[in-house]
Amino acid sequence: MARTEATTAPDADGLRRRVADLLAAHDPATTDRAAFLQARFDAGLAWVHFPAGLGGLDAPRALQAVVDAELEAAGAPDNDPHRIGIGLGMAAPTILRYGTEEQKRRFLRPLWLGEEVWCQLFSEPGAGSDLAALATRAVRDGDGWVVDGQKVWTSGAHVARWAILIARTDPDLPKHRGITYFVCDMTDPGVEVRPLRQITGEAEFNEVFLTGVRIPDSHRLGEVGDGWRVAQTTLMNERVAIGGGRVPREGGLIGLLAQKWRERPELRTHDLHQRVLELWVEAEAARLAGERLRQQLVAGQPGPEGSAMKLAFARLNQEISGVEVELRGEEGLLYDDWTLRRPEGVDFAGRDAGYRYLRAKGNSIEGGTTEVLLNIVAERVLGLPPEPRTDKDIPWKELAR
C-alpha cells in the first residue's frame, strides 16, 4: 500500500497544500469514509508529529490544528475519536515510543483508522490507587508468556480488539521493578469480559478475567521488567487526554449550563447566579491552562502537569453538573434510560442532566484517583516532600496483600 514519505517537515503552508491535494484527489462528498481516512493517513495527515510512513510527517505537534481546521471546513469525515480515544490517547503514544518498527507498522494504522478498538488492562481489584502492587502474573513459556489474573474498571473492553496490559513477571523484585508491558489480543482464548453496571444504569466499564492467556513475546513493549517506566508514558498521556482536550470557549458542561441559564430566566436565583459565574470563570481558566499545556507538549512528552488538568476536569464536571441539576429543579432529576446498555464511550452532551450528574462522579476515579493525582502534583509539580513509602525496596512477594 502506497505511503507518502517526507524528507523535511512541512510548515503550516505546506500542510495546507497537502490537505488541498488530499481533498482534490478524494472529494469528501463522493469518497467513501473509510477510503478517505486511509488516504489521509497515507498522506501523513493523521497525526502530523508522528514519523513519515506512520501517519505523520515529522512536523511540530502544534500544526495538527492547521490540518484539522482545513479538513473540518471541507466537511471531511473524522476517525470518530470519541470511540477510539484509548487507542489514540494512550496506546498510540506508548507504541510510538517503545514499540519495535514491526509493532508500529502493525498497530498504528488500524488504530487511527478505527478499524481496531483498544482498551487498557491496568487496574486490579487489589491494585487500583497503588497500581504498582498489581498481582496479574505473566510467566515465560518458550517464545511467549502465559498470563493469569483479573483487571477491573476497563472502559470499552466489550468492544476492544486489543489491550495494553501490564503484568508481574518477577515477584522477587520490588513492586515497581518486576513488571512488564504487553499488547493483549482480546479475542484470544482465556480472555473473559464481564460488565460492571454503574450508577447510571450503563456498563461502559468492565472486569476482565485472564486465564492462561498466551501472549507472544513479539507483543511485549519495552524490556522485560521495565513495564512501570513504559506505563508512565501511558498514564501521563491518559491524564492529558482526559483533562487537557481542546475545547472552545463555553465548550463541555459549562456550555450546557450557560445555555440553560440563558434559556430559562425563571429558574434563576441570586445564589445560583453567583455560582454559575464562578464556575464559568474557573472553566475558562482551565481551558486556557489546557492550551498552555498543549503548547508544552509540542516540545516533548507530557509531564505531571497533566495530572493537575485531570484534577481540575473532574472537579469542574462534578460541580457544574450539580449546579445544573439544582437549577433545573425537579426536572433535573429526570433520566431517560435506566436500562442496562453497553455504550462504546461516554456522551455527556447528548444525555440528560441527571445522567451528567451521576456519570461525573466517576471522573474522580478514572484516569487516576483524585488522591493519587494530588500526591503527584504535590511532589512533582510543587516540589513538596514525598509521603513515606516503606515498601519501595521490599520484594513484591513479601508485601502484605
**Residue whose entry in the numeric block shows the C-alpha cell 451521576:** 358
Q: Say how far apart CA 346 and CA 313 lie, in whole Å.
A: 15
Percent of the chain with pLDDT over 70: 92
Predicted confidence (pLDDT) per residue in 344-390, tens digit: 777 777 678 888 898 898 888 877 788 888 888 888 888 899 888 88
Q: What is the mean pLDDT of residues 66-90?
A: 94
> Which one of 207, 238, 305, 324 is the catalytic residue?
238
Residues 226 and 167 sit within 8 Å (Cβ to Cβ): no
Grade residue 244 by pLDDT with cuts at 50, 70 and 90.
low
Number of helical (H) and strand (E) elements in the chain, helices listed first: 12, 8
Q: Which three cell numbers stand for residue 57?
A: 510527517
Continuous segment of H or E residues that includes residue 165: strand 162-168
238 part of the active site = yes
The two domains 118-224 and 231-381 share their CATH topology (first three levels equal): no
Q: Tell me, what's the pLDDT at 2?
A: 43
Question: Could you say which architecture CATH assigns to the domain 118-224?
Answer: Beta Barrel (2.40)
The answer to whether the Cα torsion of 345, 347, 352, 356 is positive or negative is positive
CATH topology (fold) of 231-381: Butyryl-CoA Dehydrogenase, subunit A; domain 3 (1.20.140)
- Measured at the alpha carbon of residue 375, what is the angle toward residues 373 and 377, in degrees to the nearest 5? 70
Give residue limits of the domains in the chain.
Answer: 12-78, 118-224, 231-381
Q: Which amino acid is at 31?
A: T
